[in-house]
Amino acid sequence: MNILLILLPVAIGLGVCGLLACLWAMRTGQFDDLEGAGWRAIADDDLPEPSETETKPLS
Amino acid sequence: MSVEQDFSVFVRHPARGVAAMDLVVEGVHCGGCMTTIEKGLKAHRGVRSARVNLASKRVTVEWDEGAMKPGSIVERLDELGFPAWPFAPEAAGGAEANEERRLLRALGVAAFAMMNIMLLSVSVWSGDLSPATRDMFHWISALIALPAVAIAGRPFFDSALRAIRQGAFNMDVPISLGVLLALVLSVAQTLQHQQEAYFDSAVMLLMFLLAGRVLDQRMRRRTRDVATNLAAMRSETALRILESGDAVETPIAAIKPGDLVLVRPGERITVDGLVETGRSDIDQSLVTGETALGEATPGRAVFAGTMNMTGALRIRVDKAASGTLLDEVNHLLARAVEQRSRWVRLADRAARLYAPVVHVTALATFVGWLLAGLAWQPALVIAITVLIITCPCALGLAVPAVQVVCASAMFKRGVLLNSGEALERLAGVDTIIFDKTGTLTLPRAEIANLAQIDPRDLAHAGALAAASNHPLARVIALASGARAPSDAREAPGQGVEAWFDGDRMRLGSASFCEASEDQRAGAAQWPDASLIYFRHGERVVSFAIRQALRPDAREIVAGLAARGFAIEILSGDRVEAVAAVARELSIATYAAGLKPADKIARLEQLKAKGHRVLMVGDGLNDAPALAAAHVSLSPISASHLAQAHADAVFLGERLAPVAAALALADKARRLMLQNLWLSVAYNAIAVPIAISGHATPLVAALAMSGSSILVTLNALRARHARGFAP
């Protein structure tokens, strides 16, 4: 039964992590725009301009 | 005279040296639009950040104070192809958003507690734990459950306390009682080293109920967001005259009583006030429903929503410019709103029936077991399990789940709900009353006798009309597409004149065109139209201009009649005009020339006969009737006051959303009732088990989650309402 002494705190600790993450998400407005977030994930605006991404010859 | 837009009322200052503004943007549909807007704005010098909210169709822009004018943001968005309107986020909106966040936080806590307690409970249910371990598990559960309930149960406890203090009874009373008793019972059982504890049930109940509340709140916020967006998109401004004599286009929000406002001919008046200088004819159809023109002279009161036709007016803004009409409307409104609040929501009616039954059953169980010879403790335990198991978990989800699903289905068909309970009220309707002007007809005009007019006359008249600012002339100009001749001369208040191939052409009033009695007589067949004459040499042509019917009005009205609704028109307009529309739509019952009080009187008469009336109207004069009717709808073009008192607003030029709203509401009500019956069926099975003393915590957990999921799935069926394509 000693294994419980380790497992229980671990399980509850993980749960607390989840709860804190949820509260953080709420405070920072992660749920404000449920439609936009999906599009932002696939937006390419973090890539450098096309001219810079052209393949350069290997030196 | 310089005219520039002044947006300073909408600018916020979130930090020192930073200015921010919120705008409603039209036409944002996907990630592409989002990126275009954000990149396009950030390219502007001085812009610190721009963020699009795709769900609410809004953009928040922050820039360095003084780096640019707020107006240039609107211009920039326009260049990008997205018309935008700034708006001020209301203070009331903040309160609703806070409430939603509070509920969401409570839901998070309840969900966390439920997961962890379930983890422990499942091991307890599996049965082969030593008594010492089981006690430890129960204590850990208690340790999680007690603070979790203290946090997550607050919304229910608060509301239950409020209700009890007022001597009333709502659904939150049995909920609070059930949860608290479950906790007390479980702690007592744990102290006595008993096998069964109900920590998981208490927390699970809270979680499902909170899910229902969050849905309910989200629906409320969404409808309010939409309303705010619509208000912003009206983007009402007025030309405020400064002391220097310059006119500045100022948003209505920044106009104060006492300001002087200029309204040019052909513009809509956006303020209430008294005419200071100027003379004009005004079209009051949006306000009174009357299509004949009224007169504005110095000292007369004018109302927001009317159209200034012929002359420039200077208006002294005065909210208290208590015109007789506005007074009457406000007075009637106060009474009507009071009556409306007597409606009892379906869920509350269920709660009124439900709570006493549950409590009596629990008490009867306790007494029954005592009489059967059981000791008081086990009898009490059984009585409390009855309370726990009957806690209205599925009942709490039954109505909000359907409301949320149906509201978004309606949204897709162009109907925006002002309140969730509107769905319930819409479902019981058997009589539909339409206003005429602006509701059955469109706010824009058309030429009624277009088919009888020679295209060459139309082209000539159109050319003359294009030289005029008069709203009626614009209709002719638009219909012909002609361009103004260079030599056209306008005689103010009479008409336009030009020379063509040596012949004089005139467009304007009958006297201006010297139309004879005979020539005027042809217009008699268009009793509801305003007439404009066109004279070319000896020929005189009359143009009958009237408001166009909504394109699908005929089919929709016929369809509604076929579905068994009684249909009437109540209008403030002249009887000839109303009769013409009624004939065209084959509506047998109509009344014309009604004042707001007359409309209400008719509604009361119908109500007394036991009818449930849907009122569809748009004018200021309809507002009291909208509030007094069982349920009401307004088109998006309606006056502010009308929209505020309508239960729902519909978009676009078509009348189809009205039919769709009725059909969806019927479906919603059916699903709500089904859901309530599902909850009843669940109780019919679970309660006998609990009364007989066989309800273990496992049974309670299965029954609760099972019924809640079933109810939610049933609600989702509303998405597939067939046959009402937009």
pLDDT in tens, B106-160: 999 999 999 899 988 888 888 778 888 889 899 999 999 999 999 999 999 998 8
Instruction: Write out the E strands in B88-131.
Output: none
CA dist., res. B55 & res. B34, Å (int): 11
Residue B1 pLDDT > 50:
no
- Range(s) within chain B of domains with CATH label 3.30.70.100: 1-89
The residue whose two tokens read 């001085």 is: B46
Question: How would you label B88-127 residue by residue, b for 16+ Cβ within 10 Å and e otherwise?
Answer: beeeeeeeebeebeebbbbbbbbbbbbbbbbbbbeebbee
Rg value, chain B, Cα: 32
Answer yes or no: do A12 and B101 touch at CB < 8 A: no
Query: Cβ contacts (< 8 Å) between A45 and chain B: which residues?
Result: 35, 38-39
Residue B524 pLDDT grade (very low, low, confident, very high; cuts 50, 70, 90): low
> Was domain B444-548 assigned CATH 3.40.1110.10?
yes
Q: Are strands B431-434 and B566-570 parallel, antiparallel or unpaired?
A: parallel
What is the CATH topology of the domain spanning B1-89? Alpha-Beta Plaits (3.30.70)
> Tokens at residue B355, please?
């709570």
Provide the shortest C-alpha distance from residue A50 to chain B (in Å).
15
SS3 B80: coil
Write down the pLDDT at residue B522.
64
List CB contacts of B716: < 8 A, sequence separation 6 or more: B401, B405
> Tokens at residue A14, please?
């993980």
Residue B91 pLDDT > 60:
no
The residue whose two tokens read 């077991």 is: B369
Residue B491 pLDDT > 80:
no
Question: How would you label B158-190 residue by residue, b for 16+ Cβ within 10 Å and e otherwise?
Answer: ebbeebeeeeebbbbbbbbbbbbbbbebbbebb
Query: Is B53 touching A (CB cutoff 8 A)?
Result: yes
Prediction ipTM score: 0.75
Query: Cβ contacts (< 8 Å) between A36 and chain B: which residues?
Result: 31, 34, 52-55
Q: What is the DSSP string of B582-651?
A: HHHTT--EEE-S--HHHHHHHHHHHHHTT--EEEE--SGGGHHHHHHSSEEEEETTS-HHHHHHSSEEE-
Write down the pLDDT at residue B272.
80
SS3 B25: strand
Give the percent of chain B with pLDDT over 90: 11
Mean of pLDDT values over B229-248: 76
> Was domain B258-319 assigned CATH 2.70.150.10?
yes
CA dist., res. B108 & res. B118, Å (int): 15
> Tokens at residue B267, please?
């513009």
Instruction: Write out the E strands in B466-502.
Output: 489-491, 495-500
Q: Is B435 a catalytic residue?
A: yes
Write down the pLDDT at residue B338.
63
Query: Cβ contacts (< 8 Å) between A12 and chain B: which residues?
Result: 116, 140, 144
- Asked if residues B238 and B6 have their Cβ atoms less than 8 Å apart, the reply is no
CA dist., res. B464 & res. B477, Å (int): 8
- Asked if residues B544 and B448 have their Cβ atoms less than 8 Å apart, the reply is yes
Query: Is B118 touching A (CB cutoff 8 A)?
Result: no
Query: Which residue out of B22, B200, B259, B435 is catalytically annotated?
Result: B435
Degrees to nearest 5, angle at CA B223 with B221 and B229: 100
B5 versus B432: which is more confidently predicted?
B432
Degrees to nearest 5, angle at CA B182 with B180 and B186: 120
Mean of pLDDT values over B511-528: 71
CA dist., res. B206 & res. B107, Å (int): 8
- Range(s) within chain B of domains with CATH label 3.40.1110.10: 444-548
- Asked if residues B646 and B634 have their Cβ atoms less than 8 Å apart, the reply is yes
